[in-house]
Amino acid sequence: MKKIISILVIALAFSLQTNAQDKMMKKDNVKTVSLEQTKGEFTQKSLTLSEGTYIFEVSNNNAAPEVGLVLIEDGKDGSDANNHIKEAYVSQMVKHGKTESSKSVTLKKGTYKYFCPFNETPQYTLVVE
C-alpha cells in the first residue's frame, strides 16, 4: 500500500511540475507590442507582426485625458463594438503619462486595423504574416 501511495505522490508531483513548465512556456511565447498615443494619433503608423500571441501596451503621451485601443479585422466596421477584438482592450483607460496593457491576443495571418476612439485617431494597419 505504501508503494502505491508513493507512486501516486511522485506521479502527482511530476504532473504539477509539467503543468507549471507548460504555463511558463506559454507565457514566454507572448510578445509585447508597445504603442504610444499623442494628440490625435499613434506614433506607430503601421505594424507588421508574425502570427502569434501578443499583449498590447498603450502609453498616453498627453494625447487626451484618457485613451484606449480598439483592434478589428480589416474591412469590419470599427464603430460596431461587436467587431472589436475585446482581448486587445487595455485593462483600464490610459490616463496622461500612464501605460496600460491588454490581455493576451492571438493573431492569425491577415490584416487588422487599430485605433483609439477617445483620442479620435485614424485607423492604422496591422499586418500579420
Q: Using alpha carbons only, what angle is made at residue 53 by residues 117 and 32, rounded to the nearest 5 degrees?
A: 65
Q: Which residues form the domain of 88?
A: 30-128
How far is it, in rounded angstroms, from Cα 117 to Cα 47?
19
Indicate the number of domains in the chain. Answer: 1
pTM score of the predicted model = 0.78
Show the cell assigned to 94.
490610459
Give a yes or no: residue 70 inside a domain.
yes
> What pLDDT digit, counting tens, does each position of 16-35 carry?
444 444 333 345 699 999 99
Give a yes or no: residue 10 inside a domain.
no
Give a yes or no: residue 48 inside a domain.
yes
Give a yes or no: residue 22 inside a domain.
no
pLDDT at residue 6 greater than cutoff 80: no
How far is it, in rounded angstroms, from Cα 73 to Cα 87?
13
How far is it, in rounded angstroms, from Cα 115 to Cα 42?
8
> What pLDDT digit, counting tens, does each position of 55-79 carry?
999 999 999 999 999 999 999 999 9
Give a yes or no: residue 59 inside a domain.
yes
How far is it, in rounded angstroms, from Cα 7 to Cα 17?
15
Give a yes or no: residue 80 inside a domain.
yes
Give a yes or no: residue 95 inside a domain.
yes
Give a yes or no: residue 17 inside a domain.
no
CATH of the domain at 102: 2.60.40.420
